[in-house]
Every structure is written in structure tokens, then in C-alpha cells.
């Protein structure tokens, strides 16, 4: 007969074994996965936002998630673009910049969204960019180049992605084969909406929803009032997507991207990064409120890469920056071209900087600006690229910590960095996302979260 102490030790050991088995089983029972990706959202953007929107000790909602990790972001080429970064996170494979869930040999790579479908879960993607752009595309399609928006849209419809919300209407219009993909989506049972008013009125029917709120990118938050926009916030899109997808009894997978954080960061647009990050952060709260109420839900918040080396520098002029109410791209649209098309008139450049940014430029500074916004043929660049130079002047004037215009101009990605990005997690299995990881290892954890 075993002595009492040995029997006790045996009972305790058996209890621990059963506890581990039970815990592992519980962690495997993740019904819903909500992945929120802030495009270009490094710790610098997070710290800049929390400081400018609050104070030195202010915390964003995403910072309240209990588990934290750090993710490296490289592609096979080094510093990644959003396509290769999205592919690594969605499929577990590093690829060349520009590739959408496809390797250099042309082989299609299955994504975690595909895996969710195999497990009979509803699926969805959201983006404040186009739903066919790099990051969402990596989850819903496989093509050799991120610029193939029409083909990505066609695959998304064919692949029965249940909910798609964002910009990119032009990619769903009549394609080269003469097919209207919006009409096809409606025929396949999708509810279709095109503005925030229509989105608010959507009630779950058969779980399929297509919302395209702009021909191209959705407008910056800071520009919407001036443009008379009727586009929904990311917060509203996330709320509606969860409402529709959660009708599926087998659960769902949702990827929601705050895409224009990256665009604002490229332009050194500090108030723009703050506004877009706050909208993203409100979406995190929506996801967390759902997860806490319903359980069986894993929420992960991260970025695909960091953009322009943002840092909350000590001399930054907080009040001056936060008084700027429109994007640099919007400012570019208010300038007047010279008669010869070789830049903007001195008067209009000075007027725009004075009106929107409270900055007085010298003639020499205007001349330098007009040099930077011309392409190799001497023509004015696209307005978003003009916005890059406007934003850099403003950031420099108000002492914001960002990569300067010369370094950005020499970057093949327009200012992406190799900076690692944070990972925040909550729910069943969230602790697995602690520690340092590659973006491909991050993908493995996503797949594992839905394995029995």
C-alpha cells in the first residue's frame, strides 16, 4: 500500500495532467478569431497617438490587451511592402515584395482565411484602403502582383468571402472580360451597400455583405467633413461585420485593417496618423466588447510593418500639429498650378501652408518644394506624393520625429522600415502570442488557434 504522502503526490500529479489536457482542449476551442492590422502602425505611431490625443501616460484601447509580443516584419527582399508582409502573416510564407499569397514559382499559397472556410467558419475582410489592396488581398486571393485589383476582386467573389467592406469600387466594376462583379455578387446573394447610411440599415440575412464606399481609397478621417463624405468609420464597419458574421453557428474569422495609418505615415502626416489610429483603436474596443461578452473569441492586434520611423520626440509641438484639420494630400489639391505646369504658384503654396498649417514659407523654401514635387519629366507628381513633401515640411517645422524626405525618396518602399512591431492579444490561446516572433511564426499561431 502506498504511503499517504505518496498517494497524495500521485493524486496531485494526475490532477495536473488532467488540468493540462483540459486547458489545451479549452484553448483549442476558439470559435471566433478577430485580427486587427494597423498598416504601418509601429510603437512610434502608437506613442505619438496616445500622447497627442491624451497625455504622456495615456493608454490606447489596444494597449489594454493582456498579452503582448514583438513581431519581425521582413520579406525575402529585406524591408517589406504590405503585400509581402500580408502574405507572410496570412500564409506563413515569406515572399517577394508585391506578391499576393503566391511564391516566386507561381504557386498559390493558402491563407488562414481559407483555413477558416475549410472549418466551416464565416469569413470577412475590412480595409480603409481598397478591399482589393495588398493586406486584405493576401487573405482572399492569390496573384503575382498587388496591382491586379480586378483579378483580386473576382477571386474574392468566387472564393465566397462572406463580408467585404472598404474602398475599391472601381475593381468590382466591369472588368476586361465585361463582367460586372457587383452585379455578380448580388446574384450570389450578397447585400450591397455604398455609404454609411446604407450600412447602418443592414440587417443580417444570409450572412453575405459587400460594402464599397469609394471608387479607390476611402478618404482620410480628417478630410471627410471638408469633402462631404458619407463613408463609414472603421469602427462602424467592424461593428457591422461582427454583427453579420456572428450569425454563423460555427464561428468566424475577420481581418480588419486600418490601412490609412500607413498612408498618413508615408506623408509624415502626424495629425492624420493620430486620427486614423484613433479610429482603428475604436475598432479594437468593438472587437474586445464582443469578445468579453461572447467568449470563445481570440482578438489579436498588430501591424504588418512600420512606416517612416515615427517617434514621439521630446520637442514635438503638440498643439500646433493637432490644430491641423486636413491631410497634406487635401492641401495639395488646394494649390494652383503654374501656367507651364512646372510646379505650383508661389502665392498658392504660401497661402495653403499659412491657412492649413500656420506656417510661413520663404520664396526659397517654396522653390525647393516645387523642385521636390516634380517627376523626372518635370511634371507635377500625383497629389498623394505632393502630400508627402507637404507633410515633411510640416513635421520638420513642428519637430516631429519622422524619417526625412531624402531618406524616404531613396526607399524602394516609400519609407517602410525594418522596425519590429507590437502584437497584442486577448482570449483563448492569447498567451501564445507572447515573446519575439517572425511574421511567418505569427501566421502559424493564427492557424493553430483554429485547430482542434
- d(CA 312, CA 316) in angstroms, rounded, equals 7
Residues 203 and 126 in one domain: yes
Residue 123 marked ligand-binding = no
Share the mean pLDDT of the chain. Answer: 94
Sequence-distant (≥ 6) Cβ neighbours of residue 437 within 8 angstroms? 69, 70, 71, 72, 423, 445
Pairing verdict, β 209-212 and 163-167: parallel
Q: How many domains does the chain have?
A: 2
Query: ∠ at Cα 154 (264, 83), nearest 5°?
Result: 35
Residues 420 and 396 in one domain: no
Residues 46 and 140 in one domain: yes
Q: CA 120 from chain center: how many Å?
A: 25
- Average confidence (pLDDT) over 227-244: 98
- d(CA 156, CA 395) in angstroms, rounded, equals 39
Q: Within a domain: residue 10?
A: no
Dmax over Cα atoms in the chain, in whole Å? 102
Share of the chain above pLDDT 90, in %: 91
Residue 58 marked ligand-binding = no
Q: Within a domain: residue 17?
A: no
Q: Within a domain: residue 3?
A: no
82 counts as catalytic: yes
Residues 160 and 50 in one domain: yes
Sequence-distant (≥ 6) Cβ neighbours of residue 57 within 8 angstroms? none
pLDDT at 175: 66
CB 207 within 8 A of CB 244: yes
Indicate if the pLDDT at residue 9 is higher than 80.
no
Residues 231 and 332 in one domain: no
- d(CA 312, CA 402) in angstroms, rounded, equals 9
pLDDT at 5: 44
Q: What is the pLDDT of residues 186-217, one digit of tens each?
A: 999 999 999 999 999 999 988 999 999 999 99
Residue 55 marked ligand-binding = no
Element (H, E) at 43: helix 43-53
CB 372 within 8 A of CB 405: yes
Residues 335 and 231 in one domain: no
Residue 263 marked ligand-binding = no
Sheet holding 32-38, edge to edge: 191-193, 209-212, 163-167, 122-130, 252-258, 32-38, 297-302, 421-426, 67-72, 435-438
298: helix, strand or coil = strand
Q: How far is CA 176 from CA 179, 182, 229, 269, in A?
A: 7, 14, 30, 36
Residue 262 marked ligand-binding = yes
407: helix, strand or coil = helix
Indicate if the pLDDT at residue 234 is higher than 90.
yes
- Average confidence (pLDDT) over 139-167: 97
In CATH, what number is assigned to the domain containing residue 41? 3.40.720.10
Instruction: Name the pLDDT band for 431 (thresholds 50, 70, 90).
Output: very high
Cell numbers describing residue 307: 512606416
Residues 366 and 432 in one domain: no
294, 298, 301, 303: CA torsion to nearest 10: -140
Residues 151 and 264 in one domain: yes
Q: What is the pLDDT of residues 335-351, one digit of tens each?
A: 999 999 999 999 999 99
Q: Which long-range contacts (CB under 8 A, 24 or more apart) does 329-333 make?
A: 329/220, 329/223, 329/267, 329/383, 329/384, 329/386, 329/387, 330/220, 330/222, 330/223, 330/226, 330/227, 330/356, 330/387, 331/356, 331/357, 331/387, 331/390, 332/383, 332/384, 332/386, 332/387, 332/390, 333/383
Q: Within a domain: residue 16?
A: no
Q: Within a domain: residue 441?
A: yes
pLDDT at 20: 41
Q: What is the pLDDT of residues 167-180, one digit of tens each?
A: 999 999 976 667 89
pLDDT at 96: 98
Q: Within a domain: residue 23?
A: no
The catalytically annotated residue of 74, 82, 327, 449 is: 82
- d(CA 311, CA 44) in angstroms, rounded, equals 4
Domain enclosing residue 244, as ranges = 29-312+415-449
Q: What is the pLDDT of residues 417-427, one digit of tens each?
A: 999 999 999 99
Q: What is the pLDDT of residues 372-413, one digit of tens each?
A: 999 999 999 999 999 999 999 999 999 999 999 999 999 999
171: helix, strand or coil = helix
Asked which of 17-31, 237-251, 279-293, 311-325 is least confident by mean pLDDT, the reply is 17-31
Indicate if the pLDDT at residue 23 is higher than 80.
no
Residues 159 and 302 in one domain: yes
Q: Within a domain: residue 208?
A: yes
- Average confidence (pLDDT) over 299-314: 98
pLDDT at 205: 85
Q: Within a domain: residue 5?
A: no
Residues 127 and 220 in one domain: yes
Residue 93 marked ligand-binding = no
Residue 428 marked ligand-binding = no
- d(CA 117, CA 449) in angstroms, rounded, equals 14
Indicate if the pLDDT at residue 4 is higher than 70.
no
pLDDT at 174: 72
Residue 226 marked ligand-binding = no
End-to-end CA distance of the chain: 40
Cell numbers describing residue 188: 450570389
pLDDT at 267: 98
- Average confidence (pLDDT) over 62-89: 98
Residue 305 marked ligand-binding = yes
Of 253, 252, 220, 37, nearest to 127 by C-alpha is 37
Residues 81 and 215 in one domain: yes
CB 75 within 8 A of CB 91: no
What secondary structure does DSSP assign to 75-138, as a single string?
BTTBS--HHHHHHHHHHS----TT-BSB-TT--B---HHHHHHHTT-EEEEEEEEETTSHHHHH
Query: ∠ at Cα 255 (428, 267), nearest 5°?
Result: 125
Residues 307 and 328 in one domain: no
- d(CA 202, CA 16) in angstroms, rounded, equals 49
Amino acid at each position: 500500500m502506498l504511503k499517504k504522502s505518496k498517494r497524495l503526490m500521485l493524486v496531485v500529479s494526475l490532477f495536473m495532467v488532467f488540468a493540462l489536457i483540459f486547458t489545451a482542449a479549452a484553448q483549442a476551442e476558439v470559435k471566433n478569431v478577430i485580427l486587427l492590422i494597423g498598416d504601418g502602425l509601429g510603437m512610434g505611431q502608437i506613442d505619438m497617438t496616445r500622447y497627442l490625443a491624451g497625455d504622456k501616460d495615456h493608454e490606447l484601447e489596444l494597449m489594454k490587451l493582456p498579452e503582448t509580443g514583438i513581431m519581425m516584419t521582413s520579406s525575402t527582399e529585406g524591408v517589406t511592402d504590405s503585400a509581402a508582409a500580408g502574405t507572410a502573416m496570412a500564409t506563413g510564407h515569406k515572399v517577394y515584395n508585391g506578391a499576393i499569397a503566391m511564391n516566386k514559382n507561381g504557386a498559390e499559397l493558402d491563407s488562414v482565411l481559407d483555413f477558416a472556410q475549410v472549418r466551416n467558419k464565416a469569413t470577412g475582410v475590412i480595409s480603409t484602403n481598397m478591399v482589393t489592396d495588398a493586406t486584405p488581398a493576401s487573405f482572399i486571393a492569390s496573384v503575382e502582383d498587388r496591382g491586379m485589383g480586378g483579378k483580386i476582386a473576382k477571386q474574392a467573389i468566387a472564393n465566397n468571402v462572406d463580408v467585404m467592406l472598404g474602398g475599391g469600387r472601381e475593381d468590382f466594376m466591369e472588368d476586361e472580360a465585361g463582367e460586372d462583379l457587383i452585379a455578380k455578387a448580388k446574384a450570389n446573394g450578397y447585400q450591397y451597400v455604398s455609404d454609411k447610411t446604407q450600412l447602418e440599415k443592414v440587417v443580417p440575412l444570409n450572412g453575405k455583405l459587400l460594402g464599397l464606399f469609394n471608387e479607390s481609397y476611402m478618404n482620410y478621417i480628417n478630410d471627410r467633413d471638408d469633402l462631404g463624405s458619407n463613408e463609414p468609420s472603421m469602427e462602424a464597419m467592424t461593428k457591422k461585420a461582427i454583427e453579420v458574421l456572428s450569425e454563423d453557428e460555427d464561428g468566424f474569422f475577420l481581418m480588419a485593417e486600418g490601412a490609412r495609418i500607413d498612408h498618413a505615415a508615408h506623408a509624415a502626416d502626424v495629425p492624420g496618423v493620430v486620427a486614423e489610429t484613433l479610429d482603428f483603436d475604436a475598432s479594437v474596443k468593438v472587437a474586445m466588447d464582443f469578445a468579453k461578452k461572447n467568449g470563445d473569441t481570440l482578438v489579436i492586434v498588430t501591424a504588418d510593418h512600420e512606416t517612416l520611423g515615427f517617434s514621439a520626440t521630446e520637442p514635438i509641438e503638440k498643439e500646433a500639429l493637432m490644430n491641423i484639420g486636413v491631410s497634406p494630400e487635401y492641401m495639395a489639391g488646394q494649390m494652383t498650378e503654374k501656367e507651364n505646369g512646372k510646379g505650383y504658384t508661389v502665392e498658392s503654396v504660401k497661402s495653403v501652408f499659412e491657412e492649413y498649417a500656420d506656417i510661413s514659407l520663404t520664396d526659397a523654401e517654396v522653390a525647393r518644394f516645387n523642385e521636390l514635387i516634380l517627376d523626372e519629366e518635370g511634371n507635377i507628381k500625383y497629389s498623394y506624393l505632393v502630400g508627402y513633401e507637404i507633410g515633411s515640411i510640416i513635421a520638420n517645422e513642428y519637430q516631429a520625429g519622422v524619417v526625412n524626405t531624402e531618406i524616404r525618396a531613396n526607399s524602394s518602399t516609400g519609407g517602410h522600415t525594418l522596425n519590429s512591431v507590437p502584437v497584442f492579444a486577448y482570449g483563448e490561446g492569447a498567451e501564445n502570442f507572447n515573446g519575439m516572433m517572425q511574421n511567418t511564426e505569427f501566421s502559424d499561431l493564427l492557424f493553430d488557434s483554429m485547430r482542434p
